[in-house]
Structure 1
Amino acid sequence: MKEPKLLSTDRVPVAEIETKGRLRPVSEAGVESLLASIRETGVMKDAIHVRKKKDGLHLIAGGHRLEAAKRLGWTDIEAKVWTEVTDDWARLMEIDDNLAGAEMNALDTAVFLAARKAVYERLHPETKPATGAALAAKRWDAADIVSVASFATATAEKFGLTDRHVRRMISAGSALGPDQVRALRQAPRPVSLKDLTEIAKITQATDRYAVVERLSSGRAKSAAEAMRSLRQGAGDEGAVKSPVDEAFAALLKAWKRAPAAARRRFVTEQYSDLAALLAEIDGEGDDVERRER
């Protein structure tokens, strides 16, 4: 197993640091707050962390600091340069740096905690939730996202939260796909923990997408309201619907009514079109993230 090694603490060229693959775009409020501090004190308090790979330097932790340096026109920035770093170790450092230091809204906190759980369980497989006979033997609750004795407790102690709060955030973050997270970041109203908890309860993927769409477009003020309108089938009656809204509603209704065998046949026969659409959506998300950086 690789052991991370700190090569040096030195100033490195800002333009040579690769930032792709981050868990979230930087927060404008976080960058502005950091810029104000630098202008007042004249210094950036902490170094960023980068990993040295064959193709250059990749950011591990310090996205807001790096963005602030770019806006100030700095050509270089103080950095701790690491080598022999695994992807999981780098991701864990990124997550903990954000959870401990950056201003995080409920959505980003949920996404980061869910990612931290996934990394933690890869590094400590003995803490994964048990299933079947192992679950009964350990007397764990199948509804729990993780064992109280493992990740939730470790994370709660690390960041000063309760086990229950951590589990709720993880459940919410784990339920959302990357495209849904991107959509919720565009919502006119900040997504609350209560909204995320409601979304995490939705078992049907099509229902979850519909609720996310209502929140991101501003058609619902909360996830609970969006879910109620979806169940009643009349949440948007009286409102002027676009052709896209009407087509989406018709597709969603047909999908929900179709038996499992029909859904499988549809996906099989339309696989090429669906794959192309997913690739297009991923490409749009990448473009948005690049613009936000």
Structure 2
Amino acid sequence: MADFLRATVSQIHVGERLRPIDQGYVEAIAASFEERGQISPIMVRRTPATNKGKTPLTLIAGGYRLSAAKLLGWTEIDAIVVAADKVEAQLLEISENLYRNELNPLDRAIFVMKYRELWEEKNGKINPKGGRPEKQGNDYPVFANGRELSKQVQNRLGFGAETYKLVNRIGQNLHPTLRQAVRGTEAETNQALLLKFAKLTPDMQVKAAAALKESGDPQSVLALTKPPKPEKPGRDPETEALAALRKAWGQASQATRNQFLEEIGLSSFQEAA
């Protein structure tokens, strides 16, 4: 059950968030607050012992709205309080952000992978090889091929099967070093580029991250990761000429062949013989 309240801003604890704050977006929300007021409440949970009781509420979702309120100097903000433990609170944060469609392709992949980690924490590790559920040392069941997770993500987060597959591919295969390197580049908002980076080997991704920090151009960095084209064997003019003659001879009529032999003096040789 959820409760609505007017929360004191200074009493809300903000833990580690899944994505960095875009100050420009905070300012845009602050401008909207000034013009229209707060439309959507933030989401919090009760944590009476946090910071020795100084922050009895912990933020679940609405980091940008809370930041905008602080920027405007608000002392209170509308909030909805939900009953949730730490893991469920993170799942709610992910769901809310994905539903609001505020995430770029990189953050969307990170959020979905975090959702997967939390889901596995509650339900057991996914068996990538499929097969029947087994037991691990932690006594959590293993679900074949992640079908249950896939279905839950699609239902809860509003994803289609194809979107989930692509997002999952980026989240699982993109090296953490490269994740940081693509921040602020074209690739951060370009799913096709992220998928290309995710196809690289881990070693190549680390090298690509270093190159990306220098150039800031994902397209040029990806071009450098492509294997060089194999060199064609050296061309021998004499061999090519002989091949051309053989081809021409095979295509010529008997009359043309006889004419050619006469021109090079072989017909008289054959007659003398």
Q: What range is the shorter-chain TM-score in?
A: 0.5 to 0.7
RMSD over equivalenced CA pairs, Å: 2.9
Residue aligning to 2:120: 121
**Equivalent AA in structure 2 for residue 121 of structure 1:** E
Q: CA deviation at 1:29?
A: 5.0
- Hey, what's the Cα distance between the residues in 2 that align with 1:92 and 1:14? 23
**Equivalent AA in structure 2 for residue 95 of structure 1:** I
Does residue 48 of the first structure (1) align with residue 42 of the second (2)? yes
Q: Secondary structure at the match of 2:59?
A: strand
Deviations 1:163-198 (A, max 9, x none): 122121122122345554333213366441112212
- Hey, what's the Cα distance between the residues in 2 that align with 1:13 and 1:40? 21
- Hey, what's the Cα distance between the residues in 1 that align with 2:150 and 2:74? 40
Query: 217, 222, 232: which one pairs with 1:220?
Result: 217
Q: Secondary structure at the match of 1:150?
A: helix
**Equivalent AA in structure 2 for residue 38 of structure 1:** F
Does residue 34 of the first structure (1) align with residue 29 of the second (2)? yes
Q: Secondary structure at the match of 2:182?
A: helix
RCO higher in structure (CA 8 A, sep ≥6): 1
Q: CA deviation at 1:148?
A: 7.1
- Hey, what's the Cα distance between the residues in 2 that align with 1:215 and 1:106? 18
- Unmatched runs of 5 consecutive residues or more in structure 1: 136-145, 234-293
Select the structure of larger CA radius of gyration: 2
Residue aligning to 2:88: 89
Residue aligning to 2:137: none
- Hey, what's the Cα distance between the residues in 2 that align with 1:132 and 1:46? 42
Map 1:160-239 onto structure 2 (within 5 A). Answer: 160-176=158-174, 178-187=176-185, 190-203=188-201, 205-222=202-219, 225-232=220-227
Map 1:1-293 onto structure 2 (within 5 A). Answer: 6=2, 8-41=3-36, 43-53=37-47, 54-55=49-50, 56=55, 57-83=57-83, 85-125=84-124, 128-131=126-129, 133-134=131-132, 147=145, 149-176=147-174, 178-187=176-185, 190-203=188-201, 205-222=202-219, 225-232=220-227
Q: Secondary structure at the match of 1:46?
A: coil
Task: Assess if the C-alpha contact under 8 Å between 2:95 and 2:157 holds in 1.
Answer: no
Q: TM-score, normalised by structure 1?
A: 0.62
Deviations 1:101-120 (A, max 9, x none): 15211111111111112222
- Hey, what's the Cα distance between the residues in 1 that align with 2:106 and 2:196? 13
- Unmatched runs of 5 consecutive residues or more in structure 2: 134-143, 229-273
Q: Secondary structure at the match of 2:217?
A: coil
Count of residues in Structure 1 that have an aligned counterpart in Structure 2: 212
Task: Assess if the C-alpha contact under 8 Å between 1:23 and 1:112 holds in 2.
Answer: yes
